[in-house]
Structure 1
Amino acid sequence: MSVPSVVVAVALALAPVPADAQNFRFSNFSVEGNTRIQAETILAYAGIAPGATVSAAQVNDALQRLQATGLFEEVEILPRGGTLVIQVREYPAINRIAIEGNRRLDDEDLLAMIDSQPRRVYSPAVAEADAATIAEAYRQSGRLTATVNPVIIRRDDNRVDLVFEVAEGRVVETQRISFVGNREYSDRRLRQVLESTQAGLFNALIRSDTFIDDRIALDRQLLTDFYQDRGYVDFEILSVTPELSRDRGAYFVTFNIREGQSFDIGRISVVSEIPEANADQYRDVIRIREGVTYSPRLVDNTISRMENLATQQGLRFVRIEPRVTRNPASLTLDLEFVISRGERVFVERIDIEGNATTLDRVIRRQFDTVEGDPFDPRAIRQAAERIRATGFFADVQVEGRQGSAPDQVVVDVDVEEQPTGSLGFSASYSSDTGAGLAVNFSENNFLGRGQRLAFAFNTVEGGQSASFSFIEPNFMARDVGLGMSLGYSQTTGQDRAYDTEDYTLGTSISFPLSELGRLRISYDLSQNEISDVPDGSSAIIRADEDAGARIASILGISYAYDSRDAGLNPNAGVRLQFGAEYAGLGGDAEFIRARALAIAETSVMREEVSLRATFEGGALYSIDGDSRQSDRFYLSSRQMRGFDTYGMGPRDLAADNEDALGGNYFAVARFEAGFPLGLPEEYGITGGVFYDIGTVWGLDNTAGGNADGSTNGTVDDDLYWRQAIGVSIFWDTVLGPLRFNFSHALDTQPYDRTREFDFTVEARF
Structure 2
Amino acid sequence: MTNRRKNAFLGRSLLTTRLVAVTLLGGGFAAALPPVAAMAQEYRFSQVKIEGNDTIEAATILAYAKIARGSAVSAAQLNDAYQRIQGSGLFEKVDLVPQGSTLVIRVQEFPSVNIVSFEGNKVLKDSVLASQVKTQPRKVYNPAMVEADAASIAKGYADAGRPNVRVDPKVIKRPNNRVDVVFEVKEGYVSEVERISFTGNTAYSDRRLRDVLQTKQAGILHRLIQRDSFVADRVDLDRQLLTDFYHSRGYPDVQVTGVSSEMARDRQGFFMTFNIREGQQYHFGKISTVSEVPELDAKDFEKLAKIREGVIYSPTAIDLAITRMEETALRKGANFVRVDPRITRDPKTQTLNVEFALVRGERVFVERIDIEGNTTTLDSVVRREFHTVEGDPFNPREIRNSAERIRALGFFTKADVNTRQGSGPDQVIVDVNVEEQPTGSLSFGASYGASSGFGVNVGLQESNFLGRGQYLGVQIGTTSGTQQSDLDFIEPYLLGRDLKFRYHMWYNTTDNDNSDYSTRRQGISPSIEFPLAENSRLELRYTFSRDKLYGLTAYNPDPDGDPSTNDATGSSPILTREAGEKDTSSLGYSYTWDTRRTGIDPRYGFTFKLSQDLAGFGGDVDSLTSTALLRAERKVWNEEVTLRAELEGGMVNKRSNTKLTLLDRFSGNGKIRGFESNGYGPRDLTAPNKDALGGKYFAALRMESEFPIGIPEEYGVTGGLFWDIGSLWGLDDTAGATGTVDDSMHLRSAVGFSVFWRSAIGPLRLNFSKAIKKEDYDKEQNFDLTISTQF
Q: Do both share a fold (TM > 0.5)?
A: yes
Are 2:667 and 1:634 equivalent residues in the alignment? Answer: yes
Are 2:572 and 1:542 equivalent residues in the alignment? Answer: no
Are 2:643 and 1:611 equivalent residues in the alignment? Answer: yes
**Contact 2:490/2:502 (<8 A) preserved:** yes
What are the superposed Cα offsets for residues 707-758 of structure 1, whole Å, 9 maximum, x if unpaired?
A: xxxx3xx311011111111222221123332222222222221221222333
* Cross-structure match for 1:746: 772
**Contact 2:488/2:502 (<8 A) preserved:** yes
* Cross-structure match for 2:677: 645
**Contact 2:447/2:788 (<8 A) preserved:** no
Aligned length: 754
**Contact 2:620/2:658 (<8 A) preserved:** no
Which of these residues, 229, 240, 257, is aligned with residue 276 of structure 2? Answer: 257
Q: Distance in 1 between the 2:546 and 2:81 partners?
A: 90
Q: Distance in 2 between the 1:55 and 1:479 partners?
A: 67
- Per mean C-alpha deviation after superposition, the further-off stretch among 557-566 and 400-409 is 400-409
**After superposition, where does 1:278-677 map in structure 2 within 5 Å?**
278-418=297-437, 420=439, 423=443, 425-430=445-450, 434-534=453-553, 535=555, 536-545=570-579, 548-623=580-655, 624=657, 626-636=659-669, 638-677=670-709
Q: Distance in 1 between the 2:73 and 2:350 partners?
A: 81
**Contact 1:150/1:163 (<8 A) preserved:** yes
Q: Where does the alignment leave 5 or more consecutive residues of structure 1 unmatched?
A: none
SS, match of residue 564 in structure 1? helix
Q: Distance in 1 between the 2:71 and 2:690 partners?
A: 114
**Contact 1:427/1:758 (<8 A) preserved:** no
**Contact 2:169/2:184 (<8 A) preserved:** yes
SS, match of residue 242 in structure 1? strand
- Say if 1:178 and 1:655 are closer, same or farther in 2 by CA, change over 3 A: same
- Per mean C-alpha deviation after superposition, the further-off stretch among 290-299 and 130-139 is 130-139
Letter of the 2:113 partner, please give it: I
**Contact 2:662/2:693 (<8 A) preserved:** yes
* 1:700, distance to aligned residue in structure 2 (A): 0.8
**Contact 2:549/2:663 (<8 A) preserved:** no
* 1:83, distance to aligned residue in structure 2 (A): 8.5
Q: Distance in 2 between the 1:478 and 1:250 partners?
A: 51
**Contact 1:564/1:601 (<8 A) preserved:** no
- Say if 1:615 and 1:441 are closer, same or farther in 2 by CA, change over 3 A: farther
Q: Distance in 2 between the 1:382 and 1:58 partners?
A: 53
* Cross-structure match for 2:565: none
Q: Distance in 2 between the 1:395 and 1:498 partners?
A: 53
What are the superposed Cα offsets for residues 670-729 of structure 1, whole Å, 9 maximum, x if unpaired?
A: 1111111222211111111111111100111123434xxxx3xx3110111111112222
* Cross-structure match for 2:173: 154
* 1:580, distance to aligned residue in structure 2 (A): 1.4
Q: Distance in 2 between the 1:109 and 1:319 partners?
A: 48
* 1:607, distance to aligned residue in structure 2 (A): 0.2
* 1:354, distance to aligned residue in structure 2 (A): 4.2
- Say if 1:742 and 1:426 are closer, same or farther in 2 by CA, change over 3 A: farther
Letter of the 1:755 partner, please give it: Q
Letter of the 1:505 partner, please give it: I
SS, match of residue 314 in structure 1? coil
- Say if 1:95 and 1:698 are closer, same or farther in 2 by CA, change over 3 A: same
SS, match of residue 742 in structure 2? coil
* Identical positions, percent: 50
Q: Distance in 2 between the 1:518 and 1:41 partners?
A: 65
* 1:609, distance to aligned residue in structure 2 (A): 0.3
What are the superposed Cα offsets for residues 636-677 of structure 1, whole Å, 9 maximum, x if unpaired?
A: 1x3211112211100011211111101111001111111112
* Cross-structure match for 2:156: 137
SS, match of residue 272 in structure 2? strand
- Say if 1:66 and 1:516 are closer, same or farther in 2 by CA, change over 3 A: closer
Q: Distance in 1 between the 2:247 and 2:736 partners?
A: 63
Letter of the 1:727 partner, please give it: F
SS, match of residue 683 in structure 2? coil
* 1:281, distance to aligned residue in structure 2 (A): 1.1
SS, match of residue 741 in structure 2? coil
- Per mean C-alpha deviation after superposition, the further-off stretch among 671-680 and 123-132 is 123-132
* 1:564, distance to aligned residue in structure 2 (A): 2.6
- Say if 1:527 and 1:75 are closer, same or farther in 2 by CA, change over 3 A: closer
Q: Distance in 1 between the 2:63 and 2:413 partners?
A: 51
Greater RCO (Cα-Cα under 8 Å, separation 6 or more) = 1
TM-score (norm 2): 0.88
Q: Distance in 2 between the 1:756 and 1:127 partners?
A: 64
- Say if 1:118 and 1:751 are closer, same or farther in 2 by CA, change over 3 A: same
Which of these residues, 246, 265, 269, is aligned with residue 246 of structure 1? Answer: 265
**After superposition, where does 1:97-136 map in structure 2 within 5 Å?**
97-136=116-155
SS, match of residue 274 in structure 1? coil
* Cross-structure match for 2:563: none
Q: Distance in 2 between the 1:52 and 1:526 partners?
A: 88
- Per mean C-alpha deviation after superposition, the further-off stretch among 120-129 and 722-731 is 120-129
**Contact 1:663/1:699 (<8 A) preserved:** yes
**Contact 1:428/1:435 (<8 A) preserved:** yes
**After superposition, where does 1:100-249 map in structure 2 within 5 Å?**
100-249=119-268
SS, match of residue 671 in structure 1? strand
* 1:240, distance to aligned residue in structure 2 (A): 1.9
* 1:66, distance to aligned residue in structure 2 (A): 6.1
* 1:49, distance to aligned residue in structure 2 (A): 9.8
**Contact 1:242/1:254 (<8 A) preserved:** yes
- Say if 1:357 and 1:194 are closer, same or farther in 2 by CA, change over 3 A: farther
* 1:588, distance to aligned residue in structure 2 (A): 1.1
Q: Distance in 2 between the 1:32 and 1:444 partners?
A: 59
**Contact 1:288/1:568 (<8 A) preserved:** no
TM-score (norm 1): 0.90
* 1:574, distance to aligned residue in structure 2 (A): 0.6
